[in-house]
Amino acid sequence: MTSDYLKFYIDGAFVDPIEPRPLGVIDPATEEVFATISIGTGADVDRAVAAARAAFDSFSQTSREERLAFLEKLLEVYERRYEDVAQAISREMGSPIARARDSQAYAGLGHLKATIEAFKAFPFDEMRGGTLVTHEPVGVVGLITPWNWPLNQIMCKVAPAIGAGCTMVLKPSEIAPISGMVFAEIVDEIGLPKGVFNLVNGTGPEVGAAISSHPDIDMVSFTGSTRAGTDVARNAAATVKRVAQELGGKSANIVLPDADLEAAVTQGVKGCFGNTGQSCDAPTRMLVPADRHDEALEIARRAALSVRVGKPTDIETEIGPLVSQMQFDKVQGLIAAGIEEGATLVVGGTGKPEGLETGYYVKPTVFGNVKPGMRIEREEIFGPVLSIIPYDSIEQAIAIANDTPYGLAAYVQGTDVEQLRRVAARLRAGSIYLNYPDWDLFAPFGGYKQSGNGREYADFGLRDFMEIKGIVGYAA
């Protein structure tokens, strides 16, 4: 059974694309088409940008109270459509339904609540002597979001853009676009002025490029691969528009010598495998003391074998399929490379789990004796594959952790609080997590180096969508 989502959302209405170009959306658990969307063109982007540009002058002048009312209405409708969001995400990306509800759909809800709280307290105006420093909306913004955390990233961009007073054009991933269409239905219900929110589906090389290069778009906020991020920045350069990017990662997880090894390794395995390993900040490189390396491998083996792989509709499933054939092939190739390069295959390996021959399922995989420079240590795999690396000293562990082109996140486990803090201070990453803390929706999220620039979440996200103006002599 398929469903059609062939329209775009432009200027306050669901409209037909200028040119009919249908695309089937694959259910990764069955490898079959379950829905159809339309693929847009530059002409569709032009229409959406024109609507956003026309709406900007008036929407940018709305009061804080008016924009807060829109955000609170968005929260009300999102909560009512919560299960629809969860079901769409589970189907389009193969997320286990329990995770789709508790993590994926919840991420959109949590970020919206955090944005509302931050918005209420946000200091739009500040006097510095006789100068007024004020925050104003950056303008028309292009929002390009990925398939791996669909509503997390849509909400992290749309909610602060509304709060800032921007108008926008959103392009969700064409691989997992149905949750984005459900979100457009939610937005349609809250009564935003026409043209404030627009959605055009399509591919990165076509619609994404049209957004990032468009002369009437003032800023692009992009989440995705580092490779695609460089294309966005290149396309945006000609018009000197602001670019905010959250890109790839290869996050280190340093297990210090005084850590509880059983707990640290077990939680590290589960953290790496969460979302079927398809998270840019996943702790995919576990560094353990060399003299406890073999013990760590045994703990990791047991932890990996305890993870339930299965169909997304099964409430007990913890790991579902990867999102696509392309992703499956990439992960299989990197697992094979790890074996060929001489890493110790602790558990898992190439091929599909027994009984799951249909669907893009992979075996949860752990490698030991991984050496710096191996492909599985350097490249972002984006699957449930953990590399365990032995180290001889904390200095060496820090050096290995930082020896990566990425810098999105890092993790440190131990019992000496001061040592944890000293190590965290030396790690070159945007987010450091000590002893697997609870998720903090008010912490900044973004990366160093090739993991991007800019920061999302709460007030950090609001600031990304604002210009700073100084009015000198204001007090006079």
The question of whether 166 is a catalytic residue gets the answer no
Residues 299 and 191 in one domain: no
pLDDT at 469: 98
Q: Is 197 among the domain residues?
A: yes
Sheet with 466-471: list strands edge to edge: 125-128, 131-137, 466-471
Share above pLDDT 70 across residues of the chain, in percent, rounded to a whole number: 100
pLDDT at 4: 87
Residues 417 and 437 in one domain: yes
**Both tokens assigned to 467:** 């210009």
Residues 414 and 427 in one domain: yes
The CATH number for 97's domain is 3.40.605.10
CA distances from 355 to 123, 273, 311, 359, 458 (A): 56, 20, 10, 10, 43
Residues 304 and 216 in one domain: no
Q: Is 193 among the domain residues?
A: yes
pLDDT at 3: 77
Identify the active-site residue in 92, 280, 318, 377.
Answer: 280
pLDDT at 476: 81
User: E-strand spans in 28-154?
Assistant: 32-38, 125-128, 131-137, 140-144
Q: Is 64 among the domain residues?
A: yes
Residues 329 and 463 in one domain: no
The CATH number for 265's domain is 3.40.309.10
**Both tokens assigned to 156:** 């992290």
Which pTM does this prediction carry? 0.97
Instruction: Give 394-445 pLDDT, tens digit per residue.
Output: 999 999 999 999 999 999 999 999 999 999 999 999 999 999 999 999 999 9
Decide: 9 and 40 in contact? Cβ < 8 Å: no
Its domain, for residue 212, covers 3-247+451-471
CA distances from 52 to 13, 136, 169, 186, 299 (A): 13, 17, 7, 18, 54
Q: Is 476 among the domain residues?
A: no
pLDDT at 2: 54
Residues 22 and 124 in one domain: yes
Identify the active-site residue in 92, 206, 246, 318.
Answer: 246
Residue 7 neighbours by CB distance under 10 Å: 17
Name, in order, each residue with C-beta under 8 angstroms of 326's C-beta and a sequence gap of 6 or more: none
**Both tokens assigned to 453:** 């620039």
pLDDT at 373: 97
Task: Count structural domains, the chain.
Answer: 2
Name, in order, each residue with C-beta under 8 angstroms of 248's C-beta and a sequence gap of 6 or more: 225, 226, 280, 380, 406, 408, 450, 451
Q: Is 149 among the domain residues?
A: yes
> 269: closest CA among 402, 137, 392, 436?
436
Q: Is 421 among the domain residues?
A: yes
Residues 376 and 425 in one domain: yes
Counting as low any pLDDT under 50, the low residues of the chain are 1
Residues 265 and 166 in one domain: no
CA dihedral 110, 306, 279, 227 (to 10 degrees): -170
Residue 425 neighbours by CB distance under 10 Å: 8
**Both tokens assigned to 287:** 């560094």
Residues 216 and 276 in one domain: no
Give the integer Cα–Cα distance in Å for 239 and 251.
33
Residues 153 and 228 in one domain: yes
